[in-house]
Structure 1
Amino acid sequence: MKNSFRTTALSLALTGIAAVPASAEEWRLNNFLPETRPESAQIEQFTADVNAALADKDFTLTHYPGGSLGIKNTDLLRVLPKGAVEMSLMWSNYLGRDAPALSSVFVQGAISTVEELKAVLPVAQEIYTEEYNDWGVTTVGFVAIPTLSVSVFCADKPVNSLEDLNGVKLRVWAREQVETFTNLGVSAQIIPQEETYVALKTGVVDCALYPALYAHTISLQEVTSYASFLYPMASAPYSLGVATDKWEATDPEIREAIVTAADALWERTNQYDKDFELELAAREKLSEMGVTWGEDFPESDRALFLDAVSETWAMLAEEAGGNAMDYRQRVLTALGR
């Protein structure tokens, strides 16, 4: 009887062990954009689509917006291939330290119309896929960015000309902007978006370059009182990257679900017909919150700015070497220049 009890207990224990499913796999999706950005909402939808498609699998994709995983966007080419996170949003303009050739694809201000953007996007996507492959990162999808109107937001006084910018400490977000404004005699420094609010509040900078559409997402209306439009900008798309060795070892059904959801994400975001309408609404909302919207920078200043952008683009490509000149030429060819 005793041996029979032990046999039965062992049998039940083994049955219980066998009934426990293998540990569910969770992938973390790192997103450095604030949760309030519209792109973050689209990425949240992408995450939901992946999880819905894989409801019967022991797999979960979890979205972490606002840089909540503590990964610096400038470090992604170093840490993503090593498995610091399973998937991440990536933006080429933040990765120039490690991959300088990426700075020669989309230079801020060089592409300004929807027509130009649509001509360039397929080429840019090819280039990013190639470049990230060389870093051991597989591109599994893209997120489009609206065409933007970039303005100068200032704390203490209105600034709406290049002459007014002389002597002003200006926040920018990319090296090409530093070079462009330096060529125009303006002091500019890179400050990450998450540090811009404090930099303006404490006087580290007097003004910040920022799109009105996104200004409220970092509460610029609380630390600036004036804004004026400077230039239109079409931006490089964001990429969704996974370490190549991780991607190749992943269940094909999971890969298919991710790619399918990413295709839908691109289709939703690659739309630009309402961009100017959204810009005007954003300006009105900011005005209601206390930002005085001044006159646009004059066309003559904008022409000088665009000439400086063109010079910066050529300089950065030559300086970067490697594939940079080829990347720039491929984009110029797509633009018919």
Structure 2
Amino acid sequence: MTRALARALTRARAALVLGLLAGGGVAGGCGETSDTGGARELSLAHFLPADHVLTGDMFTPLAEKLAELSGGRLTVRQFPAGALNSSAPAQYSILRSGVADIALAIPAYTPDLFPKTDLIAYPGICKTAVACTEAMRRARTALEAEYDAKVLGLWANDAPVLLTRERPVRTLDDMNGLKIRVSTRSLIPFIEALGASAVMQPGTVVHQSLTTGVIDGVAISPSGIGTFQLHEPAAYLTTWLPTSGLPFVLLMNRGVYESLSPEERGWIDEAADASLSMAGATAYARAGADGLRMAQEAGVEIIDLPENEIRRFEQAIAPAREAGLARQVGDMTAADVIRLFRPAP
């Protein structure tokens, strides 16, 4: 099977699935169609539920702004819930192969491809979605170079909390021997420095893993509590870990972008200005607050570490943090990239 045929079949399958869900309609890629009067329709793929907070706060406003700027000549059709590919780590691949024109990716799921972006999770950089997104904006030039695509948005969520099922974590000693799910490989040495073991798992399986005892805890941004219903298996929630946020990126196929006219590219650039990234951050901040409230209402015990325990956690990871700064990430060291995240003195 040729690549072109494979792509055509993938699009056709996605169109059929969404057509059945929506009660009709045909999906299209980037191109002019006879029934749109010469309009170009871009496909936007992601693996999140159709009602995810990013849909209402980021993807739909992007589509609406493009339609407004172009007078309806440039439109976006969303393919949520993995309609084009259900694997979160595969989203960058389907973008580059042309299956999707625009795609949401989590750089931490493929850290070998995006080691600089992944460093936003490094301890001591930021705690809130807005602060982490601002840090990524300061380093955007270096981060954009990692992507063979047009970067439309770069943002992050809040730093993770720790949800556990059997053992509450009130002190550093309580971490000893726990198996903790993490979202990014960058966190593994720090979780291990706290006395626990770390395992990477996609968010879609953590509910089952925590329920069945495959893992003892989940380190995840509070926005993930509602998305993955983690208030159901969790009994305890520790509100602080010595880590930072998880990065997200919205990308456009470079060939598709470059095939557009200068006017059309201008519409894309205007619609994907800095406010688009910040919309992702504020959406995750609100979802995080909702997640914490959901956990509390479900009876999950909320644990705030005292200052002396926070200092113990920070002291425990200090050697690993210092050693990690010398790690080479492309043409820079981790310390070089982290300096870009910081405000100018």
TM-score by length of 1: 0.76
> Do the aligned partners of 2:46 and 2:104 also contact (CA within 8 Å) in 1?
yes
> Do the aligned partners of 1:107 and 1:313 also contact (CA within 8 Å) in 2?
no
> Which one of 110, 121, 140 corresponds to residue 107 of structure 1?
121
Is 1:80 matched up with 2:91?
no
DSSP 3-state at the match of 1:238: strand
- For residues 154 and 188 of structure 1, what CA distance do their matches in structure 2 show? 14
Q: CA deviation at 1:186?
A: 0.6
Gaps of 5+ in 1: 1-18
Q: 2:261 is matched by which residue type in structure 1?
A: D
The percentage of aligned residue pairs carrying the same residue is 21
What is the RMSD computed on CA atoms of the aligned residues? 3.4
Is 1:167 matched up with 2:181?
no
> Match for residue 296 of structure 1?
304
DSSP 3-state at the match of 1:29: strand
Q: CA deviation at 1:170?
A: 1.2
Is 1:69 matched up with 2:76?
no
> Match for residue 164 of structure 2?
154
- For residues 214 and 309 of structure 2, what CA distance do their matches in structure 1 show? 25
> Do the aligned partners of 1:137 and 1:241 also contact (CA within 8 Å) in 2?
yes
Closer/same/farther in 2, CA of residues 184 and 251 from structure 1, 3 Å limit: same
Is 1:45 matched up with 2:61?
yes
- For residues 82 and 324 of structure 2, what CA distance do their matches in structure 1 show? 28
User: 1:308-330 deviations in whole A, cap 9, x for unaligned?
Assistant: 656545545644443241x6314
> Do the aligned partners of 2:150 and 2:253 also contact (CA within 8 Å) in 1?
yes
DSSP 3-state at the match of 2:231: helix
Q: Which moved more, 1:172-181 or 1:26-35?
A: 26-35
Is 1:128 matched up with 2:143?
yes
> Match for residue 156 of structure 2?
145
Q: CA deviation at 1:289?
A: 2.0
> Do the aligned partners of 1:124 and 1:236 also contact (CA within 8 Å) in 2?
no
- For residues 104 and 243 of structure 2, what CA distance do their matches in structure 1 show? 21
Closer/same/farther in 2, CA of residues 137 and 302 from structure 1, 3 Å limit: same
DSSP 3-state at the match of 2:241: strand
Q: CA deviation at 1:298?
A: 3.5
DSSP 3-state at the match of 2:142: helix
Is 1:26 matched up with 2:41?
yes
Gaps of 5+ in 2: 1-33
1:158-197 matched pairs, under 5 angstroms: 158-197=168-207
> Match for residue 331 of structure 1?
338
> Match for residue 293 of structure 2?
284
Closer/same/farther in 2, CA of residues 261 and 206 from structure 1, 3 Å limit: same
Higher Cα radius of gyration:
1
Is 1:260 matched up with 2:295?
no
**Whose RCO is larger (CA < 8 A, sep 6+)?**
1
Q: Report how many residues are paired.
A: 308
Q: CA deviation at 1:155?
A: 1.8
Closer/same/farther in 2, CA of residues 113 and 215 from structure 1, 3 Å limit: closer
Q: 1:142 is matched by which residue type in structure 2?
A: G
- For residues 151 and 20 of structure 1, what CA distance do their matches in structure 2 show? 49
Is 1:322 matched up with 2:336?
no
